[in-house]
Structure 1
Amino acid sequence: MTKDQVIEYLKEKDIDKIKFAFADIDGVLRGKIIHKQKFIDGLQDGYGFCDVVFGWDSSDVCYDNTTITGWHTGYPDRPCRIDLDTFRTVPWEDDIPFFLADFSKAGGSDLHTCPRSLLKKIVAQSQEMGYHAEFAQEFEWFNFCETAKTLQEKSFTKIETMTPGMFGYSVLRTSQQSGYYYDLFNLLQKFDVTLEGLHTETGPGVYEAAILHDEVLRAADKAVLFKTAVKEIANRHGIMASFMAKWIDTLPGCSGHIHQSLWTKDKSKNLFYNAGDAHDMSETMKHYLAGQLYCLPHVLAMYAPTVNSYKRLVEGAWAPTTITWGFDNRTAALRVLHPSEKYTRLETRIPGSDTNPYLAIAAALASGLYGIKNKLPLDIAPTIGSGYQDTKNGKLRPNLYEAATDMQQSAIAKELFGEGFVEHFTQTRLWEWKQFAKHVTDWELKRYFEII
């Protein structure tokens, strides 16, 4: 919608407030409700927002190792801009108008720590190369019969899942929570986050949803909105939804796989498809795939951004551990799918459901474009059988500290995303590791308290 159309909509519907939000470095939506006049007044030059949102972690503890903001700057306001193209209404909140924002500027001087602004920069590069990038992210998550209060009272122990048993693809299990199940599908569609599919996964109380594919920036917007929307809808049913990558060691983790393809600008031709190839793969797709394989060690922290992410990336748990690719192989890091021209695509399987979609998608697209720009050959053979045993091209780093350190020192990462972003992002990941490393865990207490 244009500025005039939005203003006319507010007038016709007699709406006096709007809601907007943006994603911080962890992908957490931060925002507020503002009066319609403040909204209208800020459409040209933006809205001031305290830049502490890029100076603290997901628990609102201020970083002591970043320079973008801090006590040394006084945590000033920075201008954020609402993207009118993201307009939608929130059907479970009386259809209040909602917009996404980012910290970009009309002149292109974007805040280098802003995830959405970073993705917009990568998308612009893709468009300059003549591509329309089509993406979709899918998510698995656990549902619990808990609230924020009960979890605190129980010290996050004896957590009760929404349903017992494994029951992947169960029709029975979804019928037992049909109100929640159908609210997810129907309300998300009204929220312009249309699902391609929704079902149970293997594990107690686990759902999986595939979001319908879209232009890459819109796809990332929908992925970011999906996670918060699911939490809000779940809460209305007395359910807590968690997108932790691995909440317990005895069950599989939760993925956030990214599907992607490149098309002509008019969207008439899938540039990943070549009927003359034995596996229908074009040279463009091969270069793109080679780029992702080559860049993977340099950007792993963007796919696996939390300490917990690496608990999911273990053998035999439906998540990759090696730098591999294969045809329809769910043990490889990158999975090539070519059922038809329309649906030929690449699935990047490293990301968990705990990813910041803007950053994970930016990593995937930038890495693929790097392969195309540099005409990287696909000289790694596809994995046949178990990707866990195919270590000839290396294994993924086993923890956030090593992944973040690799990225911090990587010339490739700095070429892809700029030194400013790489320095800030990796420092936030190293901060995350530092918080974890100084914490005494239940495992340590049980193992050492009495016997050592």
Structure 2
Amino acid sequence: MAKRKKGTKGIEGDVRGVKSLDEARDWLKARGIEDIECVVPDQAGVARGKMMPVQKFLAGPTMSMPGSILTQTITGDYPDDDDRFESDAADQDVMFEPDLSTLCVVPWEADPTAQVIHDGYHRDGRSVETAPRQVLRRIVELYAHQGWRPVVAPELEFYLVKPNTDPDYQLEPPTGRSGRPEAARQSYSIAAINEFDDLFDDIYDFSEQQGLEIDTLIHEEGAAQMEINLLHGDPLALADQVFLFKRTIREAALRHDMYATFMAKPMSREPGSAMHIHQSVIDVETGKNIFSDADGDPTSKFFAFIGGSQKYLPAVLCMLAPYVNSYRRLVRSSSAPVNTQWGYDNRTVGLRVPNSNPAGRRLENRLPSSDANPYLAIAASLACGYLGLVEGLKVGDPVSGSANSNEIDLPRGLLEAVALFEEQEELAEIFGERFVATYGAIKRAEYETFMQVISPWEREFLLLNV
């Protein structure tokens, strides 16, 4: 059910990434690039940074910005500081260095423009512990110390909606080429995808120019709800791709007078949007999947990975479901999971083992929502599996029937999830006290701003009845 991409355009050779500043100079010159977006993913996965002329970038690619950009909430506010935070009272600058392997064009800009993702460092060379990209890199390094290499493949769901400039109005599906909005569920419908052919042509074109690889594109359950599946690979590289894909899809949608939203639950009567994460682990020395033995059977390490996911995923749910809206998706008798039960080819559990050959044996984490920061969601998911591996955890029997009508075994709201995250000592040791404290403070500050808004439900049922 994949929509095929168009032929290659533009300059021959690599469209993404270089190894040195000299190579970057040649790459930029060959494409006539005039400006560079120097991008930093913040805690929400929002692109922060600076735009600068190519000459300035090449003269000194390191840029400085206030460390507080990594403590900013989704509303643009800042939580109350304390001595555990990465920032300080003076809000000193943090140095951001480009990862030149992420260099690529910005295809929707009118003038020739490139973008490159940056990593944060203190002036003494230490990594910024709270920077999401560094958080994921630290988890990957834990695997490397054991002689392992994790592999992931994200699946990203999103909705297309009519432009909505007033947040008091509910969202509606857009009209496609037929001139009519969707009125029924259209799972896996090719005709429903074809309604937005011009938009998807732009998405494929923009992705191709950035070196982003789409595996498949399908229509999901909801009205104008789509899913893009990415090829499996290195966790940091795939997190970068999700980060860039979100920007790409939003920009392409705007060209066609639509919004693309990655809210977990944008419409009350439609399914939520997820970011499922497929995970496997490779033995670096042998190149083999440690989840399968020589006979092709699942190994004790595979079950330990599942055990760690079952034990620790509830405690990292605040990174997989990072907003108050995220918990509207995790409800019983829906397409979303409500617990950490596991099963073979069972889409009602939180942890699904897809059908595969032994080399491709993997675990699909179905808990994350599409609003999650991809760096933090992948880091959290891999951290849970890692703890299961090093602790040698066991699992119970797989679930063969429906599991999402059972009791909800996950935190029911953001504050409960944050409290559980802060209480888990094993996770604090992995993620670091500064990150745990900073992330928790950001989420509490966001919750406080949410509590300042009166909902339609309150006006409907409380205004004249209490």
TM-score for both structures, normalised by structure 2? 0.89
Matches within 5 A, 1:141-220: 141-146=158-163, 150-152=164-166, 155-162=167-174, 163-165=181-183, 166-220=185-239
**Residue matched to 1:359:** 376
Q: Secondary structure of 1:102's partner?
A: strand
Aligned mate of 2:442, from 417, 428, 431? 428
Cα contact 1:55–1:66 (8 A) shared by 2? no
Q: Which residue of 1 aligns with 2:458?
A: 444
Q: 3-state DSSP class of the match of 2:76?
A: coil
For residues 335 and 220 of structure 1, do their structure 2 counterparts lie closer, same or farther at Cα, with a shift above 3 Å needed?
same
Change (3 A) 1:340 1:80: same
Distance 1:374 1:214, change over 3 A: same
Specify the SS of the correspondent of 2:202: helix
Q: Please state whether the residue corresponding to 1:308 is helix, strand or coil.
A: helix
Question: Is the contact between residue 298 and residue 412 of structure 1 (CA under 8 Å) also seen in structure 2?
Answer: no
Uncovered stretches (5+) of structure 1, i.e. residues with no partner: none
- Aligned-pair distance for 1:108? 5.9
Structure 2 regions of 5+ residues with no counterpart?
A: 1-17, 175-180
* 1:46-100 alpha-carbon deviations (Å, 9 max, x no partner): 2101223123211212222555477x72433211111011111122225522111
Which secondary structure state, in structure 1, belongs to the residue aligned with residue 439 of structure 2? helix
Change in Cα spacing, 1:241 to 1:373, as seen in structure 2 (3 Å) is: same
Q: Find the aligned partners of 1:24 and 1:445 in 2 and give their Cα distance.
A: 35
Cα distance per residue 1:26-45 (max 9 Å; x no partner): 111112211223312333xx
1:236 to 238, 255, 280: 255
Aligned equivalent of 1:83: 99
Opposite residue 448 of structure 2, the aligned amino acid is: K
Aligned to 1:382: 398
Kindly indicate whether the alpha-carbon contact (under 8 Å) linking 2:43 and 2:72 is maintained by their aligned counterparts in 1: no
Structure 2 residue aligned with 1:50: 66
- The answer to whether the Cα contact below 8 Å between 1:309 and 1:354 also exists between their aligned partners in 2 is yes
Higher mean displacement: 286-295 or 432-441: 432-441
Take 1:87 and 1:400, find their aligned partners in 2: how far apart are those partners? 35
Residue 399 (structure 1) aligns with: 413
Alignment of 1:258-297 (within 5 A): 258-265=277-284, 268-274=287-293, 276=295, 280-297=297-314
> Helix, strand or coil: the match of 2:102?
strand
1:22 aligns with 2:40: yes
Q: Which residue of 2 aligns with 1:327?
A: 344
CA distance in 2, matches of 1:231, 1:294: 35
1:443–1:204 Cα change, 3 Å: same
Q: Answer yes or no: is 1:3 the counterpart of 2:27.
A: no
After superposition, the CA RMSD in angstroms is 2.1
**Whole-Å Cα distance in 2 between the matches of residues 251 and 275 of structure 1?**
45
Per the alignment, residue 39 of structure 1 pairs with 57
Residue by residue over 1:381-439, the C-alpha shift from the partner in whole angstroms, topping out at 9 and shown as x without a partner, is 21121113555xx7001111101011112212202211111111111112222222332
CA contact (8 A) 1:138 1:257 kept: yes
- Counterpart CA distance in 2 for 1:321 and 1:172 is 32
Cα distance in structure 1, aligned partners of 2:124 and 2:353: 39
Matched letter for residue 97 of structure 2: R
Is the CA contact 2:34–2:113 (under 8 Å) kept in the aligned structure 1? no
In 2, the alpha carbon distance for the partners of 1:194 and 1:292 equals 28
Q: Deviations over 1:90-124 (max 9, x none)?
A: 22225522111121469761112111011111111
SS of equivalent to 1:229: helix
Does structure 1 conserve the Cα–Cα contact (< 8 Å) formed by 2:31 and 2:112?
no
Instruction: Give the conservation status (yes or no) of the 8 Å contact 2:86–2:128.
Output: no
| 2:428 is equivalent to residue 414 of structure 1 | yes
The amino acid of 1:330's aligned partner reads R
Change (3 A) 1:104 1:199: same
- TM-score normalised by length of structure 1: 0.92
